[in-house]
Chain A
Amino acid sequence: MIVNGKAVRAEVEDRTLLVHFLRDQLRLTGTHVGCDTSQCGACVVHVGGRAVKSCTIFAVQADGEDVLTIEGLAKDGTLHPIQQAFQDHHGLQCGFCTPGMIMTALDLLRRHPKPDDATIRRELEGNFCRCTGYINIVKAIRAAAGTV
């Protein structure tokens, strides 16, 4: 598996979920486990260039794939434009949902380079913010449009 551009190789139990492999074995703890029932989107990562819930895919299913996590976004200490937009627009409160929000935002901006608010909100259907800070999350994503 290629994780954030780096080849990794490990033995896992068949039932290991991708999120546990990332967090417990690779120690990439930026990806969060929120609900663990495939609803909240805190665990969203990209596999093969597409946003998926890493709690709803076994690590072995992603064998040989390109995986991108929140840790793979910043380059040389400089935040990714979406991360910067979340900071600039106060797109996070407690921050627990933020990794999933940002990975989903990256995926949606690739598919909708200039989204309106309705599109952003529809695309965020699978990501919950229990601080309910959606207004600034939407604002941050709108501001980041055109940067990815």
Chain B
Amino acid sequence: MAYRIPMFRLLAPAAGLILAASAGLAFPAPPPADSCPAIDPPEAASPERGIRVFVDPATGQLRRPTSEERQRIALSSRDRSGKTYEVLVRPDGTRIVKLDETFLMSVVAKVNPDGTTSYSCRKGRAAAAAEECPAEDSQ
């Protein structure tokens, strides 16, 4: 696993609003989209996991969000399937969201009984997977 820079921690002082639905200031590694084990081990949990932080867009100071702000945050960070994404809103209004493997676009090859090969593109790790999970590489 490569070294990963906890970028949002660096941005936090400048951020207008940071929403962490279930994690801290840094985006954690996304959970696997299916039942297969993670290919590379997930990063160590951030010590801030579970903290919900609100930074006042005007002052840059930490404060408790208003109920209206909490409602807006909840609505804007949840997709139609109910899945929650972390949304970083910067002071200028820019919204930043880290995607997960739901959006993985995979090329899948299939060898047909007559020896020909067909290709298709599938979305999501689970959709791209065959039925069996592979053994981990030994590393």
Partners in one complex: no
B interface residues, Cβ below 8 angstroms from A:
none
Residues of chain A whose beta carbon lies under 8 Å from any beta carbon of chain B: none
